[in-house]
Chains A and B, each alone.
Chain A
């Protein structure tokens, strides 16, 4: 079998790969975080055996508070629903994490699906990042609602997205499906233009917020 070439869905956007040498004082900075490990984890929030098995692998239980994410062992575990989490890791660590998860969850009611090839990650930062999101989103992203540790699925410019707040108010991350990535990138570039846009060369490392795993945040909207 011939080898399948690993290609970002932003292959037709050269600046997403190389950067645009934009101004360092730009109001918005975009960066693709390509080829990360995206793993869908299914299980029940009220299943103690499932949570304990996850905790043995992650060092932290999947967050059960809606719209929050946790960080453990260099990975991100984002709440997507009461039975669903998106687990994100550096690309080199993906295969080992899949093996570890499948082994740890073999005897509990759970699902582990590798979605890595199906979506990509776009970092959106800067003093006007919130203004860009406001153009295409109906979410209330005021820091009192969407603080550090907030994550949610929602819509951005009519595209489905998974949004994560890395630093309150000015540093965000968007996970988008492969087939929508090129469109959403172009939309973000267009929406950012008026604030001055800097595009950084694509990276393959996971953005961590440095959340205090010992003290998970309460639900933002409770």
Chain B
């Protein structure tokens, strides 16, 4: 178990949160222009890195809000927490250390 620092509520136990998938995935501007392979990549393919991971979490038993987290999947250490879509997270996705 670990704590997550909700951008609204401050540090709370993980049991109050739900994981909400990889962060930073943009919906394609024009989905109908994509090949099946590109669409499948958007829908299904995820980084699943060993190391630094850009994630979304939801404070489901607190304020109910979705937010962005950068977390080390090896050590569980959370590097940063922010409101969705902040530029601070732009380079975080999928980098393996």
Contacts and interface: CB of A to CB of B under 8 A. Distances in A.
Given A139-B12, A155-B61, 7 more contacts: A66-B8, A153-B61, A154-B12, A154-B62, A155-B15, A221-B11, A222-B10
A140 B5 CA distance: 13
Given A154-B16, A155-B15, A155-B16, A221 B65 contact: no
A111 interface: no
A65 to B, nearest CB: 10
A152 B9 contact: yes
B16 A138 contact: yes
Contacts of A81: 8, 63-65
Contacts of B61: 153-155, 160
B13 interface: yes
A68 B73 CA distance: 34
Given A138-B15, A154-B16, A155-B16, A82 B65 contact: yes
A133 to B, nearest CB: 14
B49 to A, nearest CB: 28
Nearest to A139: B12
Nearest to A155: B61
Contacts of A220: 10
Interface residues of B, number: 13
Interface of B: 8-13, 15-16, 61-65
Interface string A135-152: 000111000000000001
Interface in A164-222: 220-222
Contact of A67 (B9, B13, B15): B9
B64 A80 contact: yes
Contacts of B13: 138
12 contacts: A67-B10, A80-B64, A82-B63, A82-B65, A138-B12, A138-B15, A152-B9, A152-B62, A153-B62, A154-B61, A154-B62, A160-B61
A222 to B, nearest CB: 8
A80 B63 CA distance: 5
B58 to A, nearest CB: 11
Nearest to B62: A153
Contacts of A139: 12
Interface string A50-67: 000000000000000011
A27 B16 CA distance: 29
Contacts of B65: 81-82
A67 to B, nearest CB: 6
Contact of A66 (B9, B11, B16): B9
